[in-house]
Structure 1
Amino acid sequence: MTDPADHGATRVVVGDVGLDVVAVPAAPPVTGQDTRAAIAVTAGGAAGNTATWLRGHGLPVTLIARVGDDRAGIAVREELESIDVDCRFAVDPVRPTCCVVVLVEGDDRTLLSDRGANGALAPGDVDLEGFAAGPAHLHLSGYVLFDEGSRAAGVRALAAARERGWSTSVDPQSVPHLQGVGAGRFREWIADVDLVLPNASELAALGGPAAVLAALGPGGAIAVTRGADGAAWIDREATVARANPGPVAVRDATGAGDAFNAGLLAAWLAGASRADALVSGMQDAVRAVTGLGARPVPG
């Protein structure tokens, strides 16, 4: 792994971007009936979320994704470019821009996802050749690996980053999808990645810390979120755990993991200790869950 401790180094995020339709029912929904709700349409997508939170740390970031040839794709690009995210989007002539319906009920959320154009992300859409030489990092959203239509692009992105000497990270994102493809296959796809960023349930679905570290190779590490129990950094040397900063009034947990990824990566890539990187990740996650939607709230 190269030394990425350079605030001006290239950060590349590869994965999903789109729109979230967030619905907070005023009462428990009843099948077949009308339930009042507060509804907001916000920018979303795991990769887009992490890129946005990274920009919140003042870091230069490039987002590689695929959108539809539609108004939603234009809106997504404009919002990201307004905060100086470098958007390198392929435009799909057939599939629409990704849309996710997020049903928020207390601390729980239910996602209804249409990956749309993201499901057709192709190896040719991920071009790393134009980036300047020097320290760099590539972060991949695991959703890219779950879909047969985009898997080759995800595998190629990780390989291309390694070929250039970049550090890499992957968020596994989803227990049901991990179970669908199988833990062993997923571990093969992330072989030699420097850092895996699961939550506790995803880490268990991957076979546990020992199985994941064996797949990552000698320098690999895991940064796992544990909900109310905080987060931990696990590598072959030790386990470093940090507690949550205190009680949190959760409004919407959508994108909390994406925010954690950004906060941790921002600190770790700047040379912070494992403990300090965990704290940075949890601080961003807290900001995410106390607002509505998956992106930072201005101010």
Structure 2
Amino acid sequence: MRVVVVGDAGVDLLARPEGGIVPGGDVRAGARLACGGAGANTARTLRACGAEPTLVARIGADAGGRLVRAELAAAGVDCAFAVDPETATCCVVVLLDTEGQRSMLADRGAAARLRPEDVEAGLPGGAAHVHLSGYVLLEESSRPAGLAALAAARSAGMSTSVDPQAAALLTDAGAFLADIHGVDLLLPNAGELAALTGSPDPASAATLLGTVGAVAVTSGEHGAAWVDRGGMTTVAAEPVDCVDSTGAGDAFDAGVLTAWLRGHSPGGILRSGTRLAARTITHLGAQLVTY
């Protein structure tokens, strides 16, 4: 099962300060460098689930880009990367608190310059599905590439999915919904759902069914819900200790997509997503190494 992911690939710098940050001062912290980017996170987890992912992304001609390509390729992800000679690879500083919750300082770098021709060159033949990271649509510089990916998928008869990705960036819900009209599956978290419908209640996803075919909502420790014309199905979250919440939603997407594309029931689809999200938050870094 070949799945195309269109989204960011980059480097995460994870830091857990020992106590509060002191402006102008020094604070000791645990820190590590890891591969990240919403598109890359989902693609790597898709591979761990047995899918054959192709990641369409734009990276810089720098050490970060070389690291990301090498790690993803070693994990079995087909890297259809355009290389930007002028802009650095996406880099995100991830600040972790004592509960494992993350705050991110993101520089999308080359990812923000993804172009329609990058997508056209990277789409492989024989793919079943295209998954688009909302970050691509939510920045004007990369939005045409996101629209091109959805249009190409429809023309080729592939199914499509979109993760809105960032509630704070969904400042024009109407424009975003117009961009994704006709998408088969929308994958918001509760905050993103609230930005699109006015409510974080999964039941509000029913109002989106005139725009998308189905909605899979993740609500963190409160579980997840599947909403389609047949009604709503919910499952509980798996109880685990959270070390690092980075990438949980991206892993949820991968689990949902593989189960959905294999024809599982709504409950099975959701359990696949919540299981992978739970595994991801038990270790540092956004990407599953094994499954």
- TM bin (shorter chain): over 0.9
Task: Structure 2: state its 5+ residue gaps.
Answer: 198-203
What residue number does 1:158 align with? 150
Aligned partner of 1:75 among 50, 55, 67: 67
Aligned partner of 1:193 among 162, 179, 183: 183
Return structure 1 stretches of 4+ with deviation > 4 angstroms.
none
TM-fit CA distance, 1:136: 0.4
Task: Structure 1: state its 5+ residue gaps.
Answer: 1-8
TM-fit CA distance, 1:129: 8.3
**2:190 and 2:218 in contact (8 A); partners too:** yes
AA in 1 matched with 2:271: V
What residue number does 1:230 align with? 223
Distance 2:123 2:75 in 1: 22
**1:128 and 1:160 in contact (8 A); partners too:** no
| Mapping for residues 214-253 of structure 1, pairs under 5 Å | 214-216=210-212, 220-245=213-238, 247-253=239-245
Distance 2:92 2:122 in 1: 32
What residue number does 2:201 align with? none
Distance 1:201 1:130 in 2: 31
AA in 1 matched with 2:233: V
Please tell me the root mean square deviation across aligned C-alpha atoms, in Å. Answer: 1.4
Aligned partner of 1:16 among 8, 22, 27: 8
What residue number does 2:93 align with? 101
What TM-score results when the alignment is normalised by the length of structure 1?
Answer: 0.92
Alignment pair present for 1:260 and 2:252 = yes
Alignment pair present for 1:41 and 2:33 = yes
Distance 1:211 1:30 in 2: 45
Distance 1:297 1:32 in 2: 37
What TM-score results when the alignment is normalised by the length of structure 2?
Answer: 0.94
Distance 2:30 2:222 in 1: 30
What residue number does 1:271 align with? 263
Alignment pair present for 1:52 and 2:44 = yes
**2:206 and 2:228 in contact (8 A); partners too:** no
How many residue pairs get matched? Answer: 284
TM-fit CA distance, 1:237: 1.5
Distance 1:147 1:277 in 2: 30
Distance 1:129 1:262 in 2: 20
